[in-house]
């Protein structure tokens, strides 16, 4: 059996999709120690796939209870695939999380939900271009309207059989250079597939991750110097360097992939 987690922002349609995919074969409990609902079920049309509905999140920073649960789960459990459920009408915010999910090194599929609402707004997403830019499978659907659930199912089955691998999004050269030096420092302690995630978190001075890695004082010193150099170059704090790099990347994807037909009609006349 394979395990697939639905991750995404709050109200992106995860639970609606979960219910459609699993029907009545669900188990509803709580996450250990907290009263946040945990739902797990089997895919109606393929009982070999178990689906988990993760709590809604905007980032993989451990600020909220939901973020802590989802982050812990994504990093520590053995998942076969993440389906990133995005609200297509709120794509910018969704993609900001997509980049972070990519950085976990887990196989990922992007589900562009709420296509019915997007259409009503006169907007369109160029799915093929987005696939090309992010190097991962992208599926358009409407969970509430039961549109293209079969397409998503097929992509999930393919994703489990042959997990998609992708290059990480590459940010500003100066940031990449700091991250690659940090990765070198961490390479003995972290699995290769998780190196990108840990390098970014260490760069952001994430306290939980710093503790977890138990860095030597020599490593801590080297890493502090790398971060300080980057902060001088950017004249900014390390965590906002990363935030800005992600927003720039998202802005690029948005400008390449989102078509507003109202604009098109105006410029064509
Ligand atoms: P979650 O927080 O990610 O679990 O989101 P929910 O599944 O609770 O959905 C949030 C709201 O969006 C609900 O009112 C759903 O009925 C609605 N919704 C989910 N999918 C779609 C969709 O494809 N189209 C439309 N129009 N509404 C949707
Ligand atoms: K909700
Ligand atoms: Mg939900």
What pLDDT shows up at residue 265?
Answer: 62
First CA to last CA distance, the chain: 55
Interface ipTM: 0.97
| The model's pTM | 0.93
For ligand 1, whether the C-beta of 194 sits within 6 Å is no
* Whole-number percent of the chain with pLDDT over 70: 98
Stretch (H or E) spanning 6: strand 2-8
The residue whose CB lies within 8 Å of the most ligand 1 atoms, and thus the one to mutate among 6, 9, 11, 22, is 11
Dump pLDDT digits (tens) for 89-136: 999 999 999 999 999 999 999 999 999 999 999 999 999 999 999 999
Closest residue to atom 21 of ligand 1, CA basis: 144
For ligand 1, whether the C-beta of 16 sits within 6 Å is yes
Given a contact cutoff of 8 angstroms between Cβ atoms, the answer to whether 4 and 156 are in contact is yes
Number of neighbours of residue 7 by Cβ within 10 angstroms? 29
What pLDDT shows up at residue 61?
Answer: 86
Dump pLDDT digits (tens) for 228-268: 999 999 999 999 999 999 999 999 999 999 988 777 665 55
- Ligand 2 midpoint to CA 162 (Å): 31
For ligand 1, whether the C-beta of 177 sits within 6 Å is no
- On whether 114 is known to bind a ligand per the annotation, the reply is yes
Helices (H) and strands (E) in the chain, counts: 12, 9
Return residues with CB closer than 5 A to ligand 3 (ion).
14-15
Q: How far is CA 222 from CA 202, 227, 239, 256, in A?
A: 12, 9, 18, 39
């Amino acid at each position: 059996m394979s395990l697939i987690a639905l991750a995404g922002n709050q109200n992106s349609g995860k639970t609606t999709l979960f219910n459609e995919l699993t029907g009545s074969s669900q188990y509803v409990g709580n996450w250990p120690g907290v009263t946040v609902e945990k739902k797990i079920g089997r895919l109606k049309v393929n009982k070999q796939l178990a689906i988990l509905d993760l709590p809604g999140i905007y980032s993989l920073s451990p600020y909220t209870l939901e973020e802590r649960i989802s982050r812990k789960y994504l990093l520590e459990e053995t998942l076969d695939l993440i389906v990133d459920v995005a609200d297509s009408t709120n794509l910018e915010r969704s993609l900001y999380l997509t980049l972070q999910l990519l950085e976990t090194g887990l196989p990922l599929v992007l589900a562009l939900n709420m296509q019915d609402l997007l259409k009503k707004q006169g907007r369109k997403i160029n799915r093929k271009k987005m696939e090309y830019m992010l190097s991962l499978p992208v599926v358009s659907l409407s969970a509430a309207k039961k549109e293209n659930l079969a397409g998503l199912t097929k992509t999930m089955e393919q994703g489990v059989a042959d997990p998609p691998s992708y290059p990480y999004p590459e940010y500003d050269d100066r940031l990449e250079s700091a991250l690659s030096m940090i990765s070198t420092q961490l390479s003995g302690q972290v699995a290769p597939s998780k190196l990108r995630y840990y390098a970014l978190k260490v760069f952001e001075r994430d306290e939980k991750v710093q503790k977890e890695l138990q860095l030597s004082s020599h490593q801590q010193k080297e890493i502090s110097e790398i971060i300080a150099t980057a902060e001088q170059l950017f004249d900014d704090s390390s965590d906002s360097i990363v935030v800005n790099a992600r927003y720039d990347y998202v802005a690029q994807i948005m400008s390449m992939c989102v078509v507003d037909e109202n604009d098109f009609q105006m410029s064509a006349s």
